[in-house]
Amino acid sequence: MPKLALFASGNGSNFQAIVDAVNKGQLDAEIPLLICDQKNAYVLERAAKANIEAHTFTFKDYGTKQAFEEAIVSLCQRHDIDYIILAGYMRIIGNTLLEAYQGRIINIHPSLLPSFPGLHAIEQAFEKGVKITGITVHYVDEGVDSGPIIAQAAVDIREDDTIETLTERMHETEHELYPKTIARLLETKGRKICK
């Protein structure tokens, strides 16, 4: 069965949606690892409740991005990880991870890319006054939210929306789209053996 390492930095509602999909038999995969870069992130509590091994890597403990990512790659390889799934991981992926997991790092971003890449994508769309925004699942490359798109789902911005109501619908859409997209991808690609 394909092994996924989930990477997250914060609340972890997407982490939870993926774990729930595995537990319900909707996603045929194992999740042996959570990688987190923030020691107080709520996602760590979610991992503990789900009995998933969690490791926090604090960037400032490593001299360079390369050393930071080498430690992560080495842990993922020890766990025979096939795919890295970014679920609210707020750090740009560098060459070390990209080379080790080429074509096997997936991200979710809260906009219809290529519109509104980067931070605060929901707020960016809301403030711009667009009438439709949405969610994108994509492969990670060396750019910021720029890799090939795998799936998208649209979310209407309503006249009476506030940033809070819009954010809530965006999250609901993410929780539906992400596990389904990963399941489809794994069915198509099957398990790739780590190099």
Which residue ranges make up the annotated binding site?
12-14, 65, 90-93, 107
Quote the CA–CA distance of 145 and 98 in Å, as a whole number. 14
Q: Are residues 52 and 101 in contact, defined by beta-carbon separation less than 8 angstroms?
A: no
Task: Transcribe 105-168 into DSSP letters.
Answer: EEEEESS-TTSS-SS-HHHHHHHHT-SEEEEEEEE--SSSS-SPEEEEEEEEPPTT--HHHHHH
Spatial contact of 52 and 32, defined as CB atoms under 8 Å apart = yes
Residues 11-40 that bind ligand GAR (CB under 6 A): 11-14
d(CA 9, CA 152): 22
Q: Which residue has the tokens 């960016």?
A: 124
* C-alpha–C-alpha distance, residues 174 and 135, integer Å: 6
Q: How far is the CB of 71 from ligand GAR (least distance, A)?
A: 22
For ligand GAR, the closer of residues 19 and 87 by Cβ is 87
Residue nearest to ligand GAR (CB): 88
- Catalytic residue from among 55, 109, 138, 171: 109
Tell me if residue 109 is catalytic. Answer: yes
CB 112 within 8 Å of CB 152: yes
**Cβ proximity to ligand GAR, 104 vs 109, nearer residue:** 109
30, amino acid identity = E
- Of residues 8, 21, 85, 112, which one binds ligand GAR by CB under 6 A? 8
The smaller minimum CB distance to ligand GAR, of residues 153 and 194, is found at: 153
Q: Is 174 in the site for ligand GAR (CB under 6 A)?
A: yes
Least distance to ligand GAR, CB of residue 128, Å: 16
What binding mask, one character per residue, do residues 123-162 give for ligand GAR by CB under 6 A, x or -? Answer: ----------------------x-----------------
Q: Which is nearer to ligand GAR, 37 or 174 (CB)?
A: 174
Enumerate binding residues for ligand GAR (CB under 6 A): 8, 10-14, 87-88, 108-110, 121, 145, 174
Active site residues: 109
